[in-house]
């Protein structure tokens, strides 16, 4: 759950991006925007298990996209040297949690996950993002917002006053969380979803794209529609630990 504590601002420097897919390249865009303002920021390269032992290798589209950006995959996730500043840019919350656990087991200190906030994001003074947060262009977090580890806030999303987000939450583009929303761990909030004030979204829940959440969503439940209604539930044994 939420382990964020107010701390010093991130120290600009080279950052390794874990995951070379779309989320990874979007994260690279955040890093590039930061580097335009402060050249101490840079991308040290991508790590992706596609190039690891038994991996399928990078697909042609990904390789071409990385080449256009002038960056490359320098190894697989297990090759991250403990202490290296990094972010986990993998969109799926459960996969992100799994990688975070594996890195911790390999001795990576929690604080080596850096916070990247796009310069165009609007972030209030009383907002604390936990280690590894990536906040993309045009996102807003107003006041008294707290997040756990490795939360992704994608373009244009709004986190209103007093929202709490757990670990490994994905806030898709255009999501609106009204005031005082409480989001559990590993939740996916789909593109354009809206959550009304004070609602609670349980661990491992999924809010479908475009949904309007008017009631609390229990753990592991997927809801869709306006107003949001359950589509399905992940059995506890199918949920990530």
Ligand X SMILES: CC(C)(COP(=O)(O)OP(=O)(O)OC[C@H]1O[C@@H](n2cnc3c(N)ncnc32)[C@H](O)[C@@H]1OP(=O)(O)O)[C@@H](O)C(=O)NCCC(=O)NCCS
- Residue closer to ligand X by CB (options 81, 226) is 226
Binding to ligand X, residues 140-169 (CB under 6 A): 154
Contact pick of 202, 210, 218, 230 for ligand X (by CB under 6 A):
210
Complete edge-to-edge strand list for the sheet that includes strand 73-75:
73-75, 42-47, 14-18, 86-88
CB of 14 to ligand X, least distance (A): 26
If phi over 0 gives left and psi between -120 and 50 gives alpha, with beta otherwise, what is residue 83?
left
Contact pick of 87, 133, 206, 219 for ligand X (by CB under 6 A):
206
Q: Which residues are catalytic?
A: 168
Q: Which residues pair with 116 in a beta bridge?
A: 134
- The reply on whether position 94 binds ligand X by CB under 6 A is no
CB of 170 to ligand X, least distance (A): 7
Q: Are strands 200-201 and 206-207 parallel, antiparallel or unpaired?
A: unpaired
CB 213 within 8 A of CB 193: yes
CB of 173 to ligand X, least distance (A): 6
Can you tell me whether residue 30 is helix, strand or coil? helix
Count of residues touching ligand X (by CB under 6 A): 14
- The reply on whether position 191 binds ligand X by CB under 6 A is yes
């Amino acid at each position: 759950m939420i382990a964020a504590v107010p701390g010093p601002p991130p120290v600009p420097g080279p950052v390794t991006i874990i995951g070379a897919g779309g989320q990874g390249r979007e994260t690279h865009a955040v890093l590039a925007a930061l580097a335009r303002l402060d050249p101490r920021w840079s991308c040290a390269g991508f790590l992706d298990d596609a190039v690891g032992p038994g991996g399928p290798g990078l697909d042609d589209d990904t390789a071409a996209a990385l080449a256009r950006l002038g960056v490359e995959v320098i190894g697989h996730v297990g090759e991250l040297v403990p202490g290296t500043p990094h972010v986990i840019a993998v969109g799926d919350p459960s996969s992100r949690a799994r990688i975070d656990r594996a890195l911790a087991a390999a001795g990576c200190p929690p604080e080596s996950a850096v916070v990247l906030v796009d310069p165009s994001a609007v972030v209030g003074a009383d907002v604390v993002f936990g280690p590894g947060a990536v906040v993309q262009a045009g996102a807003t977090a107003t006041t008294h917002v707290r997040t756990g580890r490795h939360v992704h806030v994608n373009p244009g999303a709004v986190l209103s006053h007093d929202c709490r987000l757990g670990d490994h939450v994905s806030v898709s583009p255009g999501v609106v969380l009204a005031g005082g929303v409480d989001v559990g761990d590993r939740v996916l909030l789909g593109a354009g979803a809206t959550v009304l004030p004070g609602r609670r979204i349980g661990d491992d829940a999924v809010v479908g794209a475009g949904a309007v959440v008017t009631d609390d969503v229990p753990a592991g439940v997927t809801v869709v529609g306006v107003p949001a209604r359950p589509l399905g539930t992940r059995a506890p044994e199918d949920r990530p630990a």
